[in-house]
Structure formats: C-alpha cells, structure tokens
Amino acid sequence: MSTARLARRTATVSFGVAAALVLAACANPDDGGTTDVAASGNTTTKINNSPDQNRVTTDKVDSIAAEVPEAIRERGTLKIVGSAESSAPLGFYATDNKTRIGVEIDLAYLVSNVLGLKPQYTPVSWENIFVGLDSGKYDVGFSNITDTEERKEKYDFASYRNDDLAFEAKKGSGLEVSDYKDVAGKTVAVDTGTNQEKILVEWSKQAEKAGLKPVDIKYYKASTDTYLALDSGRIDLFLGPNPTAAYHVASAGKTEIVGTYSGAGATLQGLIAATTKKNNGLVEPLADAINEIIDNGTYAKVLKRWGLSNEAVTKSEINPPGLPKTNS
C-alpha cells in the first residue's frame, strides 16, 4: 500500500471556520472584473473572467495517446461533459455569457492535449452528465464528480483533485458545524444527486437516532436561488463544494464558511475524478494523461491560476477508495 493511499485510509475529519481556499477581496465574476485568490500565505492569483482565457496547454504524448480506444482515436475528439451550473471557480460562464471557463474545463483540455484529441465540451444539467455517460453520448465527465463506492458500480474513476465540502452560513450567524449534532433541527440546502446530499441525509438519520430533530433539507434549482434563501434567512446553511463556497464568500461578502468536511466522509479524504462509463477502456489513458500533466508541471499551473493549489494530488489513481455506501 502506498503512503498516499495509507494516508487517505486513515485520514480524520477536518473541521473549522477557515476554508481550504483563502480568498481576498474580489469583484463579481459576472461583471467583467477579476477575482484575487490566495491559496495560502500572502500569494494571490488574479482570476481572468473574460472569454479570452489563454489556457495552459501541453504536448501530445504518443505512448499515452495510443492507449485510447480505437473508435475515439479515429474520431479525433474527446467528448467531455460537465455541469452547466455556474460554480466559480470550478465551471462558470465568462463575461460574454457564452464561453465556459474554470478549473474543470482547463484540466479537461490539458488531458485532451496529452491524448492528442480535440476537446469537445458540453455543459448539461447535473443528472444528464450521468445519463450521457451511460448512453455513450459523452466519453468523460470533468465536473467536480466525487469518487464514491456506489458510483463505482457503473463508472470508472481517474482521480485528479482532493474533494472537500463546506457549510456556508449568513455572515455573523454564530454557527459552527463539526458533526450531525450541529445541523440537527437546522434548515440546510444541498444540491440533489450529489455526495454532499448523501452525507447530509446520513447526518439527519444520526440526529434522529440520537433523539434530536432531523435536518430540514431544502433543494433549489439554481445557486442564485439558494443564496437568496440564505440571505433572507429561509435556510440556515448551504452544504456544497468548498471551492465554490469560498469563492462566493469572497465575491459576495455576505456569507461565511462555518465548517468543512471531507467529501468521502469521516474516515477518508474525498477525491474528485474524471468519470467514464465502466469498462469502456478509457480510464487507463485518462489516469496516465493526468499523471503526465502532474509530472510536467502544467497541472500545478492550472490549479494555481484558479487558486486551488492546496487541492492538488500527487498522483492520479484508478478507482481509489471512495465515499462508502454507509459512511457519513
């Protein structure tokens, strides 16, 4: 067992009011400005929200490209799918309201470079990511998808980023979340079909078993609706990906992060992974391509440009341990 694998197996939960990202004063990503992001210390990165991205690129690696299934090689394109939801800095629209930008898109394009394929990116609703992968309409999902044991029954994973979740509350709420007792009886919003929903549902069950009130779970179609509910007091908390929560805290200035949690539950560091239909022959070249960009330094450049350097992994693994079916 590798040291990295052992560390993930024995990882403990990390809580606190500080997010994994530290963001400085920002402009609204939709108003044509830029956003200053600091991953750690005093180093800041200015995020470019314009459609002219000047993306980091890398060269094709023939030996890895040769691993791609023949039908995809002959087609010459990598059909990439991601969520259409606006979730900066993961995936969102540039100031032209047409160009899709963010760390997920940049990494997907880099992998395409290594494989010698033209990236063909399609944003869809969350549930249609998996419908499209199931049908073969898309080759791979790059969309902050968490590796889970349940999902591994249908999909293969090539990990590329650590996964942490955050509880966001209205600024000055006085709330701190460290376990299920802190959300018992609270009204909490979460996106449907996500691993954070699974964790929240498990916490609600734990609360009831302990004689506490269950969590009042709310669902909204768009993040704008969620934040309006948070601002108005209709919900107490929103549980979502830590990068988007930290970005929103900085850009809106009305909320704060009151707790963080591993996306794989209490005993495992969560991992975000490139997701492909099980046994379609693509996961090996995907993992090799991710390891190539890690080794050649372009991976680090992309994470730095989006302020996510501290979510970096040292190696892509195929189907590593994920969120257990019964873990919370």
pLDDT for the residue numbered 207? 97
| pLDDT on residue 46 | 77
CATH of the domain at 193: 3.40.190.10
In a domain, 218, yes or no: yes
Q: Structural domain of residue 177, as residue ranges?
A: 164-262
More confident residue, 189 or 20: 189
Is there a single domain that holds both residue 142 and residue 289?
A: yes
Assess whether 168 and 244 both reside in one domain. yes
First to last CA, the chain: 24
Same domain, 114 and 183: no
60 found inside a domain: yes
User: What does the DSSP 8-state code read for residue 96?
Assistant: T
Q: Are residues 132 and 50 in the same domain?
A: yes
Same domain, yes or no, for 223 and 293?
no
Question: 180: number of CA atoms within 13 Å, CB side?
Answer: 22
Residue where a domain terminates, one of 235, 262, 289: 262
Mean pLDDT confidence for 281-310: 96
CA 164/CA 180 separation, integer angstroms: 17
The reply to whether 189 and 76 lie within a common domain is no
Question: 199 and 146, same structural domain?
Answer: no
Would you say residue 37 has pLDDT above 90? Answer: no
pLDDT recorded at residue 11: 36
Res. 34: pLDDT tops 90: no
For residue 283, the model assigns a pLDDT of: 98
pLDDT higher than threshold 90 for residue 8: no
Residue 20 in any domain: the answer is no
Q: Considering the domain boundaries, does residue 110 fall inside one? A: yes
Task: For residue 31, count CB atoms less than 10 angstroms from its CB and return exposed for 0-12, middle for 13-18, buried for 19 or more.
Answer: exposed
In the predicted model, is pLDDT for residue 40 greater than 50? no
pLDDT class for 198, splitting at 50, 70, 90? very high
Most confidently modeled range among 10-19, 42-51, 228-237, 301-310? 228-237
- Binning the chain into helix, strand and coil, the percentages to the nearest 5 are 35, 25, 40
Examine the pLDDT at 96 and tell me if it is beyond 80. yes
Query: Do 43 and 154 have their domain in common?
Result: yes
Does residue 11 sit within a domain?
no
Question: Region 287-312: what's the mean pLDDT?
Answer: 95
What are the DSSP calls for 217-251, one per residue? EE--SSHHHHHHHHHHTS-SEEEEEHHHHHHHHHH
**Segment 126-133 mean pLDDT:** 97
Q: Does residue 22 lie within any of the structural domains?
A: no
Secondary structure, 3-state, 102-127 = CHHHHHHHHHHHHHCCEEEEEEECHH
pLDDT of residue 147 exceeding 50, the answer is yes
Share of the chain above pLDDT 70, in %: 86
Q: From CA 35, how far away is CA 44, in angstroms rounded?
A: 10
As given in the structure block, the two tokens for residue 198 are: 């699974």
One-character DSSP codes across 149-204 = TTGGGTEEEEEEEEEEEEEEEETT-----SSGGGTTT-EEEE-TTSHHHHHHHHHH
pLDDT band of residue 7 (cuts 50, 70, 90) is very low
List all residues 6 or more positions away from 298 whose beta carbon is below 8 Å from its beta carbon. Answer: 56, 57, 58, 110
Residues 76, 185, single domain; the answer is no
How far apart (Å, rounded) are the C-alpha atoms in residues 50 and 119?
A: 20
- Work out whether strand 92-93 and strand 100-101 pair parallel, antiparallel, or are unpaired: antiparallel
Q: In this structure, are 85 and 224 located in the same domain?
A: no
Residue 27: pLDDT over 50: no
Tell me if 234 sits within 8 A of 241, measured CB to CB: no
62 domain-assigned: yes
Which among 262, 292, 315 is the end of a domain?
262
**How many domains does one find in the chain?**
2
- Check pLDDT > 50 for residue 32: no
Token output for 111: 């992998």
Q: Is residue 192 one of the residues assigned to a domain?
A: yes
Task: Tell whether 280 and 157 lie within a shared domain.
Answer: yes
Last residue of a domain, one of 262, 284, 314: 262
Is residue 153 located within the same domain as residue 74?
A: yes
What are the tens digits of pLDDT across the range 266-288? Answer: 889 999 999 999 999 999 999 99
Handedness of CA 228, 233, 239, 242 (dihedral sign): positive
Q: Per mean pLDDT, which range of 39-48, 130-139, 148-157, 318-327 is the poorest?
A: 39-48
Does the structure show a pLDDT above 80 at 326? no
